[in-house]
Amino acid sequence: MDERLLSLAHHLAEENFLAGSGPGGQNANKVATEVQLRINVLKLGLSAFVFKRLKSIAGKKLTASGYLLLSTKKHRSQEANRLEVRASLERILQEAHNIPKPRAKSRINRLKKAQRLKTKKIRSEVKLKRTKIRIPIGD
pLDDT digits (tens, 9 = 90+) for 47-84: 999 999 999 999 999 999 999 999 998 888 889 999 99
Q: What is the pLDDT of residue 22?
A: 64
* Tens-digit pLDDT profile for residues 77-98: 889 999 999 999 999 999 999 9
What does the alpha-carbon distance between residue 78 and residue 20 come to, in Å, rounded to a whole number?
Answer: 11
pLDDT at residue 21 tops 80: no
Which domains, ranges and CATH numbers included, belong to the chain? Answer: 3-97 (3.30.160.20)
What does the alpha-carbon distance between residue 34 and residue 24 come to, in Å, rounded to a whole number?
Answer: 11
List residues bridging with 16 in a β-sheet.
36
Instruction: Check: CB of residue 57 under 8 Å from CB of residue 96.
Output: yes
Across the chain, what does the average pLDDT equal?
88
Q: What is the pLDDT of residue 122?
A: 97
Q: What is the pLDDT of residue 91?
A: 94
Report residue 54 CA to chain centroid gap.
10
What does the alpha-carbon distance between residue 128 and residue 35 come to, in Å, rounded to a whole number?
Answer: 57
Q: What is the pLDDT of residue 23?
A: 66
